[in-house]
Amino acid sequence: MISKTKYIQRFLWFFLASLAFYSCRKDDICTAGGTPKLGLAFYDFTQPDTSKKVDNLTVLALPGVDTLIHNASLDELKLPLNVNTDSCRFVLMDEQNPDTLQFNYTRQRAFVSKSCGYKIIFHQLTIVLQQDNDLWIKQIDIIKTTVQNDTIHVKILH
């Protein structure tokens, strides 16, 4: 016959083991990714199918002057669109020649998962190039008007 103390000890061990087993759960780590960035690719204006780097590219976010990229040589880049408004502006500077682009879009919240929460999908993308006397950006082609993943959405010819 099992003594009362042994019975209580076995019961407690069983209870603690059960509690430890059932308290384990899957980690809530977001691996799906969040709000996508707008992908820009640079191409040669005289040969539109040929990728062309921009030397000494500086990218500033407006309003204010937040520098996102400084003096880099790139043939593509990703820009974060503003999730709080339906437009945002960036200055793309080649050497010392600034061109200002305004990106207009509509926003849609999309549930990703419990661990990731929501992301914003941008629809109906349009771009306005502010005119000046010395544009280094010659043409802008929108490849995809919906920004829902990190890919190339816009082709800039220079």
Nearest to 83, CA basis, from 108, 101, 61: 108
pLDDT at res. 26 = 63
Contact, 67 vs 154, CB < 8 A? Answer: no
pLDDT at res. 2 = 63
The pTM assigned to this predicted structure is: 0.79
* pLDDT tens-place values along the chain, 158 residues long: 567 677 777 777 777 776 666 666 666 677 777 899 999 999 999 999 999 999 999 999 998 778 899 999 999 999 999 999 999 999 999 988 999 999 999 999 999 888 888 999 999 999 999 998 899 999 999 999 999 999 999 999 99
Residue labelled with tokens 């929501």: 118
What residue segments make up the domains of the chain, in order of their start? 38-157
Residues near 15 by Cβ (< 8 Å), separated by ≥ 6?
A: none
Strands 97-113 and 87-94, bridge-based pairing: antiparallel
CA contacts within 13 A on the Cβ side of 73: 3
